[in-house]
Structure 1
């Protein structure tokens, strides 16, 4: 359950691509080609390669890491007739067998669905209301978020902090806070140090995050109005890889990527944390 809740706060690849000023959205993950600096390129992981002063996506056949292969929507991790695994260019989901979401996701992030036998794409995912038993509901990644079982209401998407009990709440330190015997939304104003004043989860099931800004004069953390306070060193990292530093005649600025990488981020993290 703890791993599922940790994953929950990175859900953000099934919704709207827009965001408010000072907010970032996890489905807008940068592509390798959008990154202009080697440090950002290497932070993307083994799916990117830095060569001739540019960042590019590594050819599927050259990816040797199973998780990186599955996380790249152009690729799939498969076995040949001899049982040897390798990364190849993605074709379609239904050719793969998988009795669980995890088995299908280990092949390709394009395939989060299973009917118990065959894998399928994200548009085949069941809604949380489909499940009538806790064992099938808990932790299922649906179109409307990560499902959780609540006595009295059955299976539903965990859409806000108030649905979480104390144990679940404290496992989501960037999204929720547990005070006065209840779980509630964490705000930038709740962060009390410059080091912790980075971002907070704004909407659980949509993957929206609010960027925070430290005011050195008042010694307080507040909502950032834009990306203006971010520099080359923290633009990419502080926006969870959804923005990159771009050189300009004035020196440079931090800009959103709007990559629309469907399902890639949540599924990559889901696989890593299982």
Structure 2
């Protein structure tokens, strides 16, 4: 019975291509050496113990890598520092706060705050504060009269002017339509690895993409098609290779293993 539940959960989670940044793998969960070494300078491989370990926040030199470890680090004053709480971060706007720590996207005008303090789209009364604001439920946009949650790229097009500024959308210059961006439209390996932002809930809104070295094209991330080299990097660090051996294993969610283990323990006790 337990085995059937575990298999069902694997199928449900692994087939998903919308990535949740709340489920970023911890260094200790990376059992494959390649994943650890490829972890954007956030982790280091201990060749003696054969384990993946955290790099101290102070030794992470780039903001983009520091922010990826936002559950333990934050970026401020040109340095990666140990994270304590959102309130300790100075930030007058959402963008300033997000650029320090993705788990602190709200602001009270002076200090940053956690996701719990995000405004709803409906509570915002001006277009300047509304457009492209990330609420907990998703991205906000001004429809001319009020602030609403965006659900499609076509909503960003006005009657007289074409607006397609959301990073998850792309303007079709032939049809003049604002359409969802596809992995195949991303140019180059670096842009491809960043994935595509969607309208979904905050932090659970990235479509994973991976760079196909054979065709030199960007393709959509499907865990079942990944190998030990592209599993972790193509999933924004939310999936990992579940075997120490390169040729044996699967690309699985770090959260998936924790969830299955929790259910099994609950059923046993």
Whether 1:246 aligns to 2:239 is: no
Whether 1:74 aligns to 2:72 is: yes
Matches within 5 A, 1:153-168: 154-165=146-157, 168=164
Asked if the contact 2:139–2:199 (Cα under 8 Å) also holds between the matched residues in 1, the reply is no
User: Structure 2: which 5+ runs fail to align?
Assistant: 1-11, 213-218, 258-269
User: What does residue 31 of structure 1 align with?
Assistant: 26
Matches within 5 A, 1:134-173: 134-152=127-145, 154-165=146-157, 168=164, 172=168
1:181: Cα distance to partner? 4.2
Normalised by the size of structure 1, how large is the TM-score?
0.62
> Tell me, what secondary structure is at the counterpart of 1:156?
strand
Whether 1:234 aligns to 2:230 is: yes
Asked if the contact 2:208–2:236 (Cα under 8 Å) also holds between the matched residues in 1, the reply is no
Asked if the contact 2:66–2:75 (Cα under 8 Å) also holds between the matched residues in 1, the reply is yes
Cα distance change, pair 59–259 in 1 and its aligned pair in 2 (3 A): farther
Asked if the contact 2:208–2:235 (Cα under 8 Å) also holds between the matched residues in 1, the reply is no
Query: Which structure features the higher share of helix residues?
Result: 2
User: What does residue 62 of structure 1 align with?
Assistant: 59
| C-alpha RMSD of matched pairs (Å) | 4.1
**Quick one: distance in 2 between partners of 1:46 and 1:149?**
39
Cα distance change, pair 100–202 in 1 and its aligned pair in 2 (3 A): closer
Asked if the contact 2:35–2:228 (Cα under 8 Å) also holds between the matched residues in 1, the reply is no
**Quick one: distance in 2 between partners of 1:88 and 1:186?**
34
Query: Which structure features the higher share of strand residues?
Result: 1
**Quick one: distance in 2 between partners of 1:240 and 1:110?**
15
**Quick one: distance in 2 between partners of 1:29 and 1:102?**
21
Matches within 5 A, 1:188-267: 204-206=199-201, 207=205, 209=207, 227-247=223-243, 251-258=248-255
User: What does residue 264 of structure 2 align with?
Assistant: none
**Quick one: distance in 1 between partners of 2:66 and 2:220?**
36
User: Structure 1: which 5+ runs fail to align?
Assistant: 1-17, 80-84, 215-221, 261-274
Normalised by the size of structure 2, how large is the TM-score?
0.63
Whether 1:102 aligns to 2:99 is: no
1:123: Cα distance to partner? 0.3
1:67: Cα distance to partner? 4.5
> Tell me, what secondary structure is at the counterpart of 2:139?
strand
1:252: Cα distance to partner? 1.6
Q: Give the aligned length.
A: 221
